[in-house]
A and B are shown apart, each in its own frame.
Chain A
C-alpha cells in the first residue's frame, strides 16, 4: 500500500466482525465501526461486553470468526505483518518479562518490529524519559510499582512509533497523579497525529479526552457517535449542593426535584435546559443558602448506565428505542 493511500484511509475500519469462542460464546456479533485518522476514540462497555475481544482481533491475539478489520487500509486478515507495523498496543494485563530491565524490554520490542538496535536504544531513552522511567531503566521490571509498569507498557507500545495506539484500560489501579501524567503524554502523542483508541472504566477520562465514542454491550455496538453529540442527549443532570441549613420540609420547586442527603447536603435533579441562576434564586427565597456545588456523577457515566441498562431491558437496541433514550 502506498504512503498516499495509507494517509487517506481511515485509521480503522471494522467490518461486520464476528467472534465465536470454542465454548460457543459469541463475543462479537458482527460489529462495524470506523475511526478516523487523528481521532481520540473511546471504546466503552461493561465487563464482558466484547471490548477486549475486539482489541485482541485488531492486535492479532484473537482470530476472528468472520469479518475483517483494516488499519489505515491494511487488512489484519490478509496482511497481518503490515497491519501490525501500524499498531501499538497497551494491554490490560502486565505482559512483559518481569526479570528483564525496562530498557531491554523496550529495545527488544523495537527489534521485533525490525528497528535496528541503535535506533531502538535512542527511542527507548526518549520514551522512558518522557514517561519518567529513565532512572529505572536498568532495574529489573518486577521492582517497579504498578503505575510504573503501566507507563512502561506505554513506552514499549511507542517503540514502533505507531500510527494507531490502542490503550486497553491503561490506568486501571493507577493513582490520580500518575493517571494525569499518562494522559498528558497520550494527549501529546494524539496531538502529534497518532490516532488513539481508549477503553477505560474511568468514564470521566473518556469524556475529557475522547472526541468520538462507541459503546459496546453483549457483542453489539449500541452507540457510536461523537462525544459532544452523545453528551447533548443527556436531558437531566443531578447536582450535589452543600448548604448552610435545610428546612424541615423541602420546598416544592418547578422542574427541580430536591432530595435531602444529610443536614447540610441536598441533591437537585433538574432538566439540563433549566438554568442554575433560577435554581439558586428559588432556593434563596426558601432560606437555603448554597455554599458549593458539584455534579453528582460524571455526565458520560449517567449516559453510559442508561444506554447499557436500556439495552439490557429492551433486548438488543434498535434505532427507534435509541431515540427514546435520547428524548
Chain B
C-alpha cells in the first residue's frame, strides 16, 4: 500500500471518528448553539431590532445581524469542537493512539480541523434555517459566502487546536473563548457596522480578525461590507496559513504531546 493511500485511509478514519463523536453527543454539540442563536434572534433581532431603523439603506436590523450571528456560531463551534476534542484526547492519553501510529502530523491536523469545520458548517446551516423563521434572506454571492464560512471555520479550528496543544487543564481551553474569543466576536461587527464607531475605536476594530470574517460573510449574503473584500480574504488567508504553520510546528516539536 502506498503512503498516499495509507494517509488517506488514516485521514478518513480520523474525520469519521470526529463526526461520529459530534453526532454521539449532539445534545451538547448541535442543540445549544441553535437555542442560543434563537434567543439572539428573538431578543436582539425582534424585540430590540424592531426599534432600530433600516441599516445601510434598506436592510432591517434582523437581516443585518443574521450573517454575523451565523458566522459567530460557526467560529465558536469550530473552536470549541477541536479544543475540547483534542484536549480530551490528550487528557485521556488517547492521543497516544495517533502519536505512535505512522500517521504524519499533517494528517492529524487536517483530520481534526475537518471534523471541527464540519461541526461549524452543520451549526451554521442550523442557525441559518432558524433565521429564516424570523426574516427573509437571499444569498447574493454563494461562492463568497461559502469561501468565507470555510475560511472562518478553518481559522478558528486551527486556533482551537493550538489552544488544545498548549492546554494543561480543562480551564485552559475555557479561558481563550471566555476572555478573547467572545469579546472579539462581540466587537467584530456582528451587531453593528464599524463605520458607526468614532476614531480611534474604528481603527482598533480593524485589528480584529473576526471583523473581516463577519464582513466577508455579510457581503456574501447581503452584498454589503464595512471592509474591502480583497483585504478581508487576504487577512483570512494570512491567518489560515500562519496558524497552519504554527500548528504543524507544534506537532513536529511535540509541544505538550511528546516529552
Contact = CB atoms under 8 A, between A and B. Distances in A.
B94 A63 contact: no
Interface string A105-127: 00111011111110000000000
> Chain B interface: which size bin?
20 to 34
A21 B259 contact: yes
A61 B259 contact: yes
Contacts of A98: 92
A114 B1 contact: yes
A265 to B, nearest CB: 46
Q: What does DSSP make chain A's interface, helix, strand, loop or mixed?
A: loop
A113 to B, nearest CB: 6
A213 interface: no
Contacts, number: 86
Interface string B92-127: 111011111111100000000000000000000000
B5 interface: yes
Nearest to B25: A99
B254 interface: yes
A115 B9 contact: yes
A97 B92 CA distance: 7
Contacts of A116: 9
Q: What does DSSP make chain B's interface, helix, strand, loop or mixed?
A: helix
A95 B94 contact: yes
B258 A61 contact: yes
Contacts of A87: 100
Given A61-B258, A63-B254, A113 B96 contact: no
Instruction: In the A-B complex, list the 8 residue pairs whose CB atoms are closest, starting with the nearest.
Output: A114-B6, A111-B13, A112-B101, A95-B93, A81-B102, A84-B102, A97-B94, A59-B100
Interface of B: 1, 3, 5-7, 9-10, 12-14, 16-17, 20, 24, 88-89, 92-94, 96-104, 254, 258-259
Contact of A95 (B5, B92, B258): B92
Contacts of B14: 111-112
29 contacts: A21-B259, A56-B259, A60-B99, A61-B100, A61-B258, A62-B258, A63-B254, A63-B258, A80-B102, A91-B93, A95-B92, A95-B93, A97-B88, A97-B89, A98-B92, A104-B20, A108-B97, A109-B97, A111-B10, A111-B14, A111-B16, A112-B14, A112-B102, A114-B1, A114-B3, A114-B9, A115-B9, A116-B9, A117-B13
